[in-house]
Amino acid sequence: MKKNLITLIALFTLAIYAHAQQNSYIEMLANQPKWVDSVFKKLNRREKIAQMFFVRAHTNLGQKYTDSVGLVIKKEQLGGVIFFQGGPVRQAVATNAYQKVSRVPLIVANDGEWGLGMRLDSTISYPYQMTLGAIQNKELLYKMGLEVAKDYKRLGMHMNLAPDADINNNAKNPVINYRSFGENKFNVAVKTGAYMKGMQDGGLLTTLKHFPGHGDTDVDSHYDLPQLTFSATRLDTLEIYPFRELIKQGASGVMIAHMNIPSLDNTPNLPSTLSKPIVTGILKEKLGFKGLIISDAMDMKGVVKYFKGGEADLLGIIAGNDILELSENSDRAIHLVRRAIRQGRVDIKTIDASVRKILTAKYWAGLSQKDTVVTKGLIAGINRNASNALVQELANASVTMLKGKDYIKNLIPIRRTAIVSIGVPSVTRFQKEVAKGFYNSVYYVLDKNASATQISNVAREIAAFDQVIVGIHDSRARPANNIQLNAGVKSFIKDLSTRNTVFALFANPYNLAGLPGLENSKGLIIGYQKEDYMQVSAAAVINNRLVPTGKLPVSILPNYKFGDGM
């Protein structure tokens, strides 16, 4: 038995070593496997074009919808499927069904910037990239990438449409914002690179987005076409910087944004996705990118507003995209591309090159061997104790102290302490955790729409306490700007900041600009988002059980700047 155990350990070690020694996807492109050539030769022209289209799928819209996607895949023999909302077991079942009807195995993807939890119930959500931007130890992000890769592979997925490499240098950005690692191009490049490398080393295809940079926009390209009016020099030295650096590090994929950029292509109303000067001229030729080029969703208003009837899909192919995701009608698009080839608008050699890249990606991801996703033990397999422990470790490393290092250190556990949570309807994890270090404490709660009477009652009662510790909580699903607190609650926060009060903000840090007075408080800790693990970390700082090491990934003028943190 002991001998068998030693043999198993040795085989496991060899398997890990073999994976570590596997060529990267970019390296494999230069020496494509025989499998790629054998599959490619069996495809007719229509089947080749179909490999370039990835269809949308959900598993929360009922079996009829799930089956309808399967019929599209079976009929059109598309290259891949991108899952959105649903559940892991339902997705595994659907994946098995879709792969069964595909003559060439599908690339299965979703966009999990913060892991499976971005789309699927019963799965782990890692912190948002803005939170991770505060972390000073990039190795933690690499570990996160490895864990995300394990989750994806266990669920039968091969590609993550992440990470986000945008530099969020516009505080009012409605679509990137907390999805970015921050405003500093060097910090963004380092953090994006660590996360990307972890996923790729774990055997997952990744996709840097949204080239050439969606961080300085005030329009959401899901609903309209943003325009970037910056010079080519500004874009090259700032927005494009992380992409350039990570292409050098072996990024396997890049996603193109839907933005109109006159300095790079002055065609009126042309999205960057459909621009040959941007996709081919800059990304392929100037930056030398050899990997997969993927469009942003082709059903977004930013791309189809001015190019209807399938013209956007055709122009996307002409521009140099290898994969078009979520076409409004892939059957129509394939027909248009075939006709364009006959008319000489599209060179079949460019189609062939893209298809070979896609097939090489499939081989690299292990799809040369058809497999079935095992549903038994799936939930436990993607909710590992190590992953949950890493989430808390990431939170601990991100929490940022902006004020009050000495004041917080000298808080007295036995003094009467009011522990207040604002913006929520009931007692929070933050309050319970803080109370573990303050033995003579009382909880108070004020909802985001608290009445004047409720506010005055709490104000009157906590006036008698020696110490006041306040958590400000954003109750929304995503940590956006403009935290939803009524005027009376905001005024109460401002009044409290003139007293001996320590604050912890569990919200997007940009909300500091809308909460005047906090800069005058005795202590100020940033928790970045509302989740319990951030509340646990902030409480540990207040209880002097955790030394905060996080630094602000963005500036909130006039009081705070990038890199602030004690």
Residue 334 to residue 47: CA distance in whole angstroms: 9
| 110 Cβ contact partners less than 8 Å away, ≥ 6 residues apart | 82, 83, 84, 116, 118, 119, 120, 157, 160, 161
Model pLDDT for residues 387-434, shown as the tens digit of each residue: 999 999 999 999 999 999 999 999 999 999 999 999 999 999 999 999
Least confident of 97-111, 296-310, 424-438: 296-310
Query: What's the pLDDT band for 221 if we cut at 50, 70, 90?
Result: confident
The whole-model pTM stands at 0.94
Q: What is the mean pLDDT of residues 313-342?
A: 97
Nearest to 554 by CA among 182, 76, 119, 63: 182
Nearest to 150 by CA among 390, 350, 440: 390
Query: What's the pLDDT band for 223 if we cut at 50, 70, 90?
Result: confident
Q: Is the pLDDT of residue 14 over 80?
A: no
Residue 172 to residue 166: CA distance in whole angstroms: 14
Rounded to the nearest 10 degrees, what angle do helices 185-201 and 241-248 cross at? 40
Nearest to 113 by CA among 29, 175, 45: 175
Residue 556 φ/ψ, nearest 5 degrees: -125, 90
- Note the pLDDT of residue 22: 76
The answer to whether the beta carbons of residues 411 and 531 sit under 8 Å apart is no
Q: Is the pLDDT of residue 313 over 60?
A: yes
- Residue whose pair of structure tokens reads 């930056």 in the numeric block: 287
**Pairing relationship of beta strands 324-325 and 400-403 according to DSSP bridges:** unpaired
CATH of 399-542 among 3.40.50.1700, 3.40.109.10, 3.40.50.300, 1.10.10.10: 3.40.50.1700
The mean of the pLDDT values for the chain is 95
The answer to whether the beta carbons of residues 433 and 536 sit under 8 Å apart is yes
Model pLDDT for residues 251-288, shown as the tens digit of each residue: 999 999 999 999 999 999 999 999 999 999 999 999 99
Query: What's the pLDDT band for 25 if we cut at 50, 70, 90?
Result: very high
Residue 521 to residue 530: CA distance in whole angstroms: 21
Share of the chain above pLDDT 70, in %: 96
**Pairing relationship of beta strands 467-473 and 501-506 according to DSSP bridges:** parallel
Q: Is the pLDDT of residue 449 over 70?
A: yes
Q: Is the pLDDT of residue 7 over 80?
A: no
Q: What is the mean pLDDT of residues 342-356?
A: 97
Encode burial over 293-324: b for 16+ CB neighbours within 10 A, e otherwise: bbbbbbebebbbbbbeebebbbbbbbbbbbbb
Q: Where are the domains of the chain?
A: 31-386, 399-542
Query: What's the pLDDT band for 9 if we cut at 50, 70, 90?
Result: very low
**Pairing relationship of beta strands 523-526 and 400-403 according to DSSP bridges:** antiparallel
Residue 57 to residue 69: CA distance in whole angstroms: 7
Q: What is the mean pLDDT of residues 368-384?
A: 96
Q: What is the DSSP string of 416-470?
A: -EEEEEESSSS--HHHHHHHTT-SSEEEEEE-TT--HHHHHHHHHHHTT-SEEEE
**CATH of the domain spanning 31-386:** 3.20.20.300
- The tokens of 179 are what? 């999805």
